[in-house]
């Protein structure tokens, strides 16, 4: 699957598949939020994980739409204000919050396509991190080469492509399938930035 095929496949995701795609991106970046919250002593990681759990629950039938606005309000209350912190970590943490928000909004308004933007946001988190950690003083073409060849970028690309293919093949959001998608996205607690809750 080349880049154009991938973009087309993402743009065609709809309904539960689109929501599952965005949720999986959020799941992969959750450690970025949890580690930031720990680092600045916010103690909100557990509460945020509950919202993530409940968001995954919306993929199963029988979840009332009235629950989602409440989750969005809780999410907003737990989202860090990027202006309030000097630490770089606030940006990946905030990106996670935006992904989770997009997944919840998808359940409220499934007709608005969100997966393409979410995909770009998740990849952008990785790009910014590499630029900050390894890209200082590089010319633009050197930076492009660094990003093209970087293991984190390759992992992000592979993860997103495999995810889209799995979702396209699956006919219904069976519980076992959703569990497998979520476990794969959780990546044993290692985020898209290669940082781990176990660190």
Single pTM value for the model: 0.97
Domain borders along the chain are 9-188
Q: pLDDT truncated to tens, each residue of the chain (199 aa)?
A: 899 999 999 999 999 999 999 999 999 999 999 999 999 999 999 999 999 999 999 987 666 778 899 999 999 999 999 999 999 999 999 999 999 999 999 999 999 999 999 999 999 999 999 999 999 999 999 999 999 999 999 999 999 999 999 999 999 999 999 999 999 999 999 999 999 987 6
Query: 196: which strand partners?
Result: 190
CATH class of 9-188: mainly alpha
Residue 108, Ramachandran bin (φ over 0: left; ψ between -120 and 50: alpha; else beta) = alpha
With b for 16 or more beta-carbon neighbours within 10 A and e for fewer, the 2-33 pattern comes to: eeeebeebbeebeebbbbbbbbbbbbbbbbbb
Residue 41, Ramachandran bin (φ over 0: left; ψ between -120 and 50: alpha; else beta) = left
């Amino acid at each position: 699957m080349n880049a154009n095929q991938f973009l087309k496949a993402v743009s065609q995701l709809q309904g539960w598949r689109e929501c599952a795609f965005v949720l999986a991106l959020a799941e992969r970046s959750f450690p970025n939020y949890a580690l930031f919250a720990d680092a600045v002593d916010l103690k909100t990681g557990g509460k945020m994980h509950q919202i993530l759990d409940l968001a995954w629950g919306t993929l199963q039938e029988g979840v009332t739409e009235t629950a989602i606005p409440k989750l969005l309000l809780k999410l907003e209350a737990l989202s860090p204000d990027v202006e309030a912190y000097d630490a770089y970590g606030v940006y990946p943490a905030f990106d996670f919050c935006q992904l989770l928000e997009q997944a919840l909004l998808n359940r409220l308004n499934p007709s608005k396509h969100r997966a393409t933007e979410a995909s770009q946001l998740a990849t952008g988190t990785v790009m910014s991190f590499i630029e900050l950690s390894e890209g200082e003083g590089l010319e633009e073409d050197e930076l492009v080469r660094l990003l093209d060849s970087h293991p984190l970028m390759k992992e992000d690309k592979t993860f997103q492509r495999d995810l889209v293919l799995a979702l396209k093949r699956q006919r219904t959001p069976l519980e076992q399938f959703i569990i497998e998608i979520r476990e794969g996205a959780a990546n044993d607690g290692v985020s898209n930035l290669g940082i781990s809750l176990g660190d």
